Structure 1
Amino acid sequence: MSDTTGGDQGIPAPEGASQIIETEYEIGQHNIDGKVGPFGFDIHNPVFLISGLSIVAFVFYTLALPDQAGALFSWLFGAVTKGFDWFFLGAANIFVLFCLLLIVTPVGSVRLGGAEATPDYGYVGWFAMLFAAGMGIGLMFFGVLEPVYHMAVSEPLGVPSPFDADGNLIPENVEAAKRMGLAATIFHWGLHPWAIYAVVALSLALFTYNKGLPLTIRSAFYPILGERVWGWWGHVIDILAVFATLFGLATSLGFGAQQANAGLNHVFGVPITPSAQVVLITLITAVATVSVLRGLDGGVKLLSEVNMGLAALLLVFVLLAGPTLVILTDFGKGLGAYLTELVPLSMPVGREDTGFVQGWTSFYWAWWISWSPFVGMFIARVSRGRTVREFVTCVLIIPSLVCVLWMAVFGGVAIDQVLSDPVSSPVKAQVIDSYNPPLSLFAMLEGLPLSAITSVIGIVLVIVFFVTSSDSGSLVIDTITAGGKVDAPVPQRVFWCIFEGAVAIVLLLSAGGLASLQSMVISTGLPFTVVLLLMCWAIWKGLRAERR
């Protein structure tokens, strides 16, 4: 079926494509052939052209006018976080409630891929891949920083710091502050982000496996837009997804570059400078490009397996080398505190801890929303054959528990070091006294045995996470800009891989530095939040029709 939107440039279906008749609405088969244009790019629709040219223009603008761009990014961050914090928090709550609704209602029995579909992977392999999706540069960057910072500085829900203005310990504040530090951290890495990912992943899986539509964001909106989804309405949705994913990835790459630079300085004395970070991003983007050329199995899959092994090794070492009993106790206390404080931390209005809500939670929710096409597509591709109930339950719980364990181990050791030696603790010096986030992980490792070796492992983990994020991210953006094709031309994927690194570099070089990266995540996450809210409605309509 060709496009029927009445003049919009649509996505043509291949000759002889089958027609899918659905009980509530009719869906045309739109598996996209596309056209290969100059340089081997798939230019079947305007999404690639508009997205590509916009990113190129953005790069040149930021390089040509870095101070003006930095001022603009700073204004954007303040305007969006202060003006729309209620919107981000309210939307994230809706995603959690929607996922819980899917679990307890009859639509949860719908099977992804059809009633006769069987899972492509057993539980062990599937859980391992969900675990892999939950790991990344963010856990390395924030695993030590966030629990300590929330305990001692940000004061979520008004819980006072265990330190006075002079840095002296206030014993009566310690337990409450420690409990809230872990609860606030788990809040940012628990049910809310994974509900965001589950919504996107479920929409992609449902409308691809059950409805026969392309693996791209626009497909989820067929129940709402009908055939118009193949015209400009769909193009706008996919372009927003590209921008959100690109800037979400660029922010992660910026965090990774700063942390890798800090680790190299800590171990080998490499200077911490923007030039060093540019060199790091350039070299790692080159490695990611080689990984792209090697293909999924020979590139990102191999690197992911290496990284998973190293991450598990480091986690076990920190658990055993640190105060193991204290860490395990804190894990239970932190999880309990999270469940107790979940509702107060989720409240979008009437909050007095505006610094925490606007500077941390709003940014996190926008960042997760920006990452959602990336993680959602990965989860969708490995979840065929699961029921909706099984899918949502596991996507919410398994990765959340992994993130909670990681934060409890790394954050628990760091908190113990700070409270045991508040005068000379390296973690206190880097997180509380001078606020140097990229060094927080290495400061914690400095207080454990074999710090020279574990610090090198930490650097390797950050770099390989960097490579796999860039490689996987370019695959997702490439799939979206190719209209859902998973085998789009390699040169196009290389293009996106290079420009992810370019965006991270120019934003780091702008006057705002890392704050510029955060500003663009917030700015692109805002309109894409609306896309995800509408996606919930489309999923509900699709599941109800599938039940009938």
Structure 2
Amino acid sequence: MKKISKVFYITIALIIVAVSYGAMAPESFEAVTTKAKDFVASTFGWYYMLLMSFMVALAIFFVLSPYGKIRLGKDHDRPQFSTATWIAMLFSAGMGIGLVFYGAAEPLSHFAISPATEAPNTAAAFKEGLRQSYLHWGLHVWAMYGVIALSLAFFQFRKGEPGLISATLKPIFGKKMEGPWGILVDVLAVFATSFGVATSLGFGAVQINAGLNHLFGIEIGIQSQFIIIAVVTVLFIASAWSGLSRGIKYLSNTNLVVGLVLLVIVVILGPTLLIFNMFTESFGSYVANLVEMSMRTAPLYEDRRDWLDGWTIFYWAWWISWAPFVSMFIARVSKGRTIQEFLIGVLVVPTILGAFWFAAFGSTAIDIQMNSLIDLTQSSTELTIFEMFDAMPWSLFLSIAAITLIASFFITSADSATFVLGMQSTNGSLTPPNNVKLIWGLIQSTIAVILLSVNGLTALQNTIIIAALPFSFVLLLMVVSLIKALRAELLLIKRKK
């Protein structure tokens, strides 16, 4: 079971080709991928909107349907992790580092360049900025992760299939998924995962470097970022080496505690009443306008369409590209839960907590901007949160806490990905060997360092967005296969009764 599969060698060969192109001809690589990304966004934006909305509807259907009582495992199986630890793992693997990176910057950006009104820097733009942040990081994302993770967990723990994307397609294609077509599907998943995590490593290193420069004057550059990545690599490989029940579990719980402490302090030191009022109104508005926001394509407004391509469509493609990694990790830690319990947990808790995070950090940043304390709109994305803290009490403590949280999320995301990559390249083993996890950890860090050194992260990001399009068709096939298998499972349960 632990034997290294062909997927491992094929994917590494493709990674070497892509990274070599990016390193030797970075400008050409970026130009080509940017054109392809723009074409995908402008041509398939409507498709991404419908796909993500379909995932929300499907997740709600599963919760309310008779399928919700089916357990992800045998009937006697029970959850391996407590609910609090499980939720902490969802955040750490799913989007934890992004919440710190964009928590203040994204609502502020929408406020300054309002996507749905012609009056930026107004009260309407304030509310709209928060609503859009909730959309990009909320229900749609977790519904997509939840449905794909549900498919993986059902086939893996209920039906005894290996933990591979290709294994979920057997109800449609049968034994073909054990041959070249199955390898193709799994290679696409591993390729997207390795580059997606490498990109996050690069952006995480940039933000930590920016924070350390802002606080202590440490030079911004590839040398500092290389040292940051090297330190983090040692830590996340050590964590992945120790396994799910130790390193990843403890780090995830630490992330949740540190994140909640930082959130509470920002709420207390920031405009507390404004935060609660804005969260209440903007979240209510988000729920009330969810359908309209989910289908918005702005075909008759070119400027708004450009904004959608750069934000919403970009996010949908970005989350789809992360689906193999995040969904597989969520599936791995969710054995023993019923479908209903699983989906309610995945949909509701991260959506509400994420929305409150954006309300707290976004409202604080916008309040500082509106009161002309600091012009945060001139800050780079990675520096916005630190310059926001400069206008608050306990700024040094808050900045150090943010850097600690970024580093901790950084490590947890990487070691979760290393674990998943090990699974995907050893025929779905639930306990991939440490030498495989070590190799994948080094590969992810090497990709990040090489592309940081040639300013190639944007091109890498473009590549992942492009790869999301073919993988989205795989996701739809997984849904069809899951529904077919669940119908058969429900009939089997009724016959037993």
TM-score if structure 1 supplies the norm length?
0.85
Tell me the CA shift for residue 132 of structure 1.
4.2
**Number of equivalent positions:** 488
Distance 1:63 1:122, change over 3 A: closer
**Runs of 4+ displaced beyond 6 Å:** none
Distance 1:405 1:102, change over 3 A: same
Q: Which amino acid aligns with 2:227?
A: V
**Residues 238-249 of structure 1 correspond to what in structure 2 (within 5 A)?**
238-249=186-197
- Is 1:438 paired with 2:382? yes
Q: Deviations over 1:52-83 (max 9, x none)?
A: 11112222222222222222232232222222
Is the partner of 2:438 in helix, strand or coil? helix
Is the partner of 2:116 in helix, strand or coil? helix
Distance 1:133 1:497, change over 3 A: closer
Tell me the CA shift for residue 348 of structure 1.
5.3
Q: Find the counterpart in structure 2 of residue 542 from structure 1.
A: 485
Q: Find the counterpart in structure 1 of residue 417 from structure 2.
A: 473
- Is 1:178 paired with 2:126? yes
Q: Which amino acid aligns with 1:509?
A: S
User: Which of 329, 350, 374 is matched with 1:399 structurally?
Assistant: 350
**Residues 44-443 of structure 1 correspond to what in structure 2 (within 5 A)?**
45-153=5-113, 155-162=114-121, 174-347=122-295, 349-351=297-299, 352=301, 353-421=304-372, 424-430=373-379, 436-443=380-387
- Kindly indicate whether the alpha-carbon contact (under 8 Å) linking 1:159 and 1:180 is maintained by their aligned counterparts in 2: no
- Kindly indicate whether the alpha-carbon contact (under 8 Å) linking 1:89 and 1:346 is maintained by their aligned counterparts in 2: yes
Distance 1:426 1:287, change over 3 A: farther
Distance 1:288 1:232, change over 3 A: same
Q: Which amino acid aligns with 1:157?
A: A
Is the partner of 1:271 in helix, strand or coil? coil
- Kindly indicate whether the alpha-carbon contact (under 8 Å) linking 2:211 and 2:403 is maintained by their aligned counterparts in 1: yes
Counterpart Cα distance in 2 of 1:326 and 1:68? 47
Higher helix share: 2
Counterpart Cα distance in 1 of 2:207 and 2:252? 19
Counterpart Cα distance in 2 of 1:69 and 1:127? 38
Tell me the CA shift for residue 121 of structure 1.
4.1
Tell me the CA shift for residue 159 of structure 1.
4.7
Counterpart Cα distance in 2 of 1:305 and 1:266? 28
Q: Find the counterpart in structure 2 of residue 454 from structure 1.
A: 398
Counterpart Cα distance in 1 of 2:419 and 2:198? 15
Q: Deviations over 1:108-156 (max 9, x none)?
A: 2222213443333454444444454455210111000110101111x22
Q: Which amino acid aligns with 1:106?
A: P
- Is 1:528 paired with 2:471? yes
Tell me the CA shift for residue 231 of structure 1.
0.7
Tell me the CA shift for residue 539 of structure 1.
0.9
Is the partner of 2:103 in helix, strand or coil? helix
User: Which of 508, 511, 516 is matched with 2:459 structurally?
Assistant: 516
Distance 1:75 1:293, change over 3 A: same
Q: Which amino acid aligns with 1:272?
A: I
Counterpart Cα distance in 1 of 2:245 and 2:61? 37
- Kindly indicate whether the alpha-carbon contact (under 8 Å) linking 2:2 and 2:427 is maintained by their aligned counterparts in 1: no
Distance 1:449 1:515, change over 3 A: same
Tell me the CA shift for residue 481 of structure 1.
1.1
TM-score if structure 2 supplies the norm length?
0.93
Q: Which amino acid aligns with 1:243?
A: F
Is the partner of 1:192 in helix, strand or coil? helix
Tell me the CA shift for residue 325 of structure 1.
1.1
Counterpart Cα distance in 2 of 1:123 and 1:498? 32
Q: Which amino acid aligns with 1:455?
A: S
Counterpart Cα distance in 1 of 2:421 and 2:89? 20
Is the partner of 1:270 in helix, strand or coil? coil
Distance 1:475 1:206, change over 3 A: same
Counterpart Cα distance in 2 of 1:476 and 1:66? 29
Counterpart Cα distance in 1 of 2:106 and 2:118? 15
Q: Which amino acid aligns with 2:467?
A: T
RMSD: 1.9
Tell me the CA shift for residue 505 of structure 1.
2.5
- Kindly indicate whether the alpha-carbon contact (under 8 Å) linking 2:89 and 2:252 is maintained by their aligned counterparts in 1: no
Tell me the CA shift for residue 390 of structure 1.
2.3
- Kindly indicate whether the alpha-carbon contact (under 8 Å) linking 2:89 and 2:249 is maintained by their aligned counterparts in 1: no
Tell me the CA shift for residue 225 of structure 1.
0.8
Q: Which amino acid aligns with 1:69?
A: F
Residue identity (%): 40
Counterpart Cα distance in 2 of 1:250 and 1:268? 26
Q: Deviations over 1:468-495 (max 9, x none)?
A: 2111111101101111002222121111
Counterpart Cα distance in 2 of 1:92 and 1:217? 19
Distance 1:135 1:177, change over 3 A: same
Which range moved further: 189-198 or 134-143? 134-143
Tell me the CA shift for residue 264 of structure 1.
0.8
Q: Deviations over 1:333-392 (max 9, x none)?
A: 121121133222211544431122110112211221122222212222232232222221
Is the partner of 2:362 in helix, strand or coil? helix
- Kindly indicate whether the alpha-carbon contact (under 8 Å) linking 2:232 and 2:410 is maintained by their aligned counterparts in 1: yes
Unaligned runs of at least 5 residues, structure 1: 1-31, 35-41, 163-173, 431-435
Q: Find the counterpart in structure 1 of residue 433 from structure 2.
A: 489
Is the partner of 2:128 in helix, strand or coil? helix
Counterpart Cα distance in 1 of 2:340 and 2:238? 39
Counterpart Cα distance in 2 of 1:127 and 1:464? 16
Counterpart Cα distance in 2 of 1:530 and 1:458? 38
- Kindly indicate whether the alpha-carbon contact (under 8 Å) linking 1:508 and 1:516 is maintained by their aligned counterparts in 2: no
